[in-house]
Chains A and B, each alone.
Chain A
Amino acid sequence: MKLIEILLSTVGISFDTFAIMTCKGAMLYRINKSKLIGIGLIFGGWQALVLLLSNYILVHYQDNLIGLGILLEILAVLIFFGLGIYMIGKALKNKIVHERREEDFPIKEIIILAIVTSIDALLAGIGLSFLKINLSESLIPIIVINILLVILGIYTGYFYGYEQKTKAYTVGGVMLVSIGLRVLFKNILYVI
């Protein structure tokens, strides 16, 4: 079922965003609710946009890739394994964050952070396109999930500290590895 891949990849990637936002939330002196929505829209919206765009371009390029067949699925498996292991690696590394009060979360910083961290969304979008999954039908849920996890991440960091990022990386990583395993066993090995 393609819905499972869409859900796992969207939520999996969003957990990376969530983890990053817990670190930012942990530094905030106070939460400005109106600004929070703006941050959610910019950061979450950008992540969703990159995911959707990378998927859209390659899905509509599928005709040129028909001859590659199973190779694309193998590449997709590698992408999701890679992303998942990378996130689990971040969880295991458990990098210590210097918690220091920040009065504000400037828009410029949000934009730079969003761009820098959107590489995994880009790869996930490409991976899903290799599986012939078109995300454009899931546009609204993807955007909503990303925005919600940005806001939730900030609140989590604010009230519970950055330590929660480890759980987020682990869950997100496992989700992404699961997609790889599912594709491997179902589409390539025909075991399930």
Chain B
Amino acid sequence: MLNNENKNTKKLLAESFKKQLLKHPFEKITIKMITDDAGVIRPTFYNYYRDKYEVFEHIIDEELMGVAYALIDNSMEREAIKMVFTYFDRNRFFYQEAFKVEGQNSFEGILFNRITGLFKKIIKKHTTTIENDSILTVENLARYYSTGMVYILKMWLFEERFLKVTPEEMFNAYMFIITHSILEIIHQQA
């Protein structure tokens, strides 16, 4: 029962943080603002999070990565990737603000690490023909694909010409990019 209560408080703080980010720039959000909105005393925050950046990590882990990993465990990799786009579309306004958090502890950096973890899981699940390559390691491949996905997500959230693109359309475009090499695309256009 105590464990559930802790989980609820943690979630409550995360929800409060999300609300605050929709109203104020990240740097102006204080822990007191988060705890006041959550209805708990200020010191409670440190029982669950180290700082505001850790709240970002928790939100992504709880709302996205947990489900995505479960899909991958059930060999539903396409669905896991599609879920990323659906999730970001549903939380568009929050992540538009999140991407504005720059610097050493940028949100983009946090997301990049999480998506890298996602691709590592996908790659490790399947036998690859490049297992013994020193350059094309699982880590490097995962980071390469993560860079692409984070870029696509950011572009989709911020560029006006993509505002009306649905998650399905963006997912299809992304899948096209990662399943075709640049050389194939050039030859197709030629």
Residues of chain A having any CB pair with chain B under 8 Å: 26, 28-30, 96, 98-101, 158-163
- Mark contacts of B16-37 with chain A using CB atoms, 8 A cut-off: 1 yes-contact digit, 0 otherwise: 0000000000011011100000
Q: In chain B, what residue has the closest Cβ to A160?
A: B32
Is B28 touching A96 in the complex (CB atoms < 8 A)?
A: yes
Q: Which residues from A are CB-within-8-Å of B51?
A: 98-101
Q: Which residues from B are CB-within-8-Å of A161?
A: 30-32, 42
Main secondary structure of the interface of A (DSSP, over half): loop
- The contact of A159 among B30, B41, B46, B50, by CB within 8 Å, is B41
- The contact of B46 among A29, A96, A98, A162, by CB within 8 Å, is A29
Task: Using A29-B43, A162-B30, A163-B32 as known contacts, list a sample of 6 further A-B pairs with CB atoms less than 8 Å apart, ordered by residue number in A.
Answer: A26-B31, A29-B46, A30-B43, A30-B46, A99-B52, A100-B50
Residues of chain B having any CB pair with chain A under 8 Å: 27-28, 30-32, 41-43, 46, 49-52
Main secondary structure of the interface of B (DSSP, over half): helix
Is B52 touching A96 in the complex (CB atoms < 8 A)?
A: no
Number of A-B contacts (CB under 8 A): 33
A32 CB to nearest chain B CB (Å): 13
Q: CA separation between A102 and B116, bound complex, in Å?
A: 29
Q: Which residues from A are CB-within-8-Å of B52?
A: 99
Is B43 touching A158 in the complex (CB atoms < 8 A)?
A: yes
